[in-house]
Amino acid sequence: MSGAGAEKSLTGEAFMHMIKLKVNGHVQELGVKSHQTLLEVLRGPLELTGVKEGCGLGECGACTVLMDGKPVNSCLVLALEADGSEILTIEGLAQVGKLHYVQKAFVKEGAIQCGFCTPGMVMATVGLLQENPNSSQEEIKEGLRGNLCRCTGYVKIIKAVEAAVEMMREGEQT
């Protein structure tokens, strides 16, 4: 489509665009409006409510998911931009009822308070450790910089990420 107004019908209704995503290992084909964010699609039609909407501005990290293996704020990604991508949310992290090692570390270290930021923190950690499995404390702090927590003060979260690094070293990745 080209030209101004090509996204709307004569009645002013937004056109639906078909996209295909692989979400938590399952191919999803769905119609989205041009202005819909990945967050809206994940929480709406796909009913993946583990992805949280915090600020809606990309400042808090509560909506962090992995898109093609990299952490992204799903509130800042248009669903159209994600077309053809592989998305991993907190719901897809555990396998066959068995927690992922990062989830285990967060539980073990008491890094979960109210739980609102936890999915985003966990997904940011997974992305960080996929990129740098031997992250130092400074690298952990930098890797989690875009994720805010109002409850824990970050000490337990950083300890949890360090515990996850140790679990990786010991081969406890599932």
- Which of 92, 123, 152 represents a domain boundary (last residue)? 92
Q: Does 160 lie in the same domain as 113?
A: yes
Q: Does 157 lie in the same domain as 138?
A: yes
Q: How would residue 10 be classed by pLDDT, with cut points 50, 70 and 90?
A: low
- CATH of residue 155's domain is 1.10.150.120
pLDDT tens digits along 32-45: 999 999 999 999 99
Element (H, E) at 70: strand 70-73
- Which of 75, 92, 109 represents a domain boundary (last residue)? 92
- Which of 30, 64, 92 represents a domain boundary (last residue)? 92
Contact 111, 151 (CB under 8 A): no
* Domain hosting residue 155, numbered range: 101-169
Which tokens belong to 50?
């583990």
- CATH of residue 65's domain is 3.10.20.30
Contact 74, 112 (CB under 8 A): no
Question: What pLDDT is recorded for position 152?
Answer: 74
Residues in the chain: 174
Residue 119's SS3 state is: helix
Residue 25 CB neighbour total at 10 angstroms: 10
Q: Fill in the amino acid letter for 121.
A: M
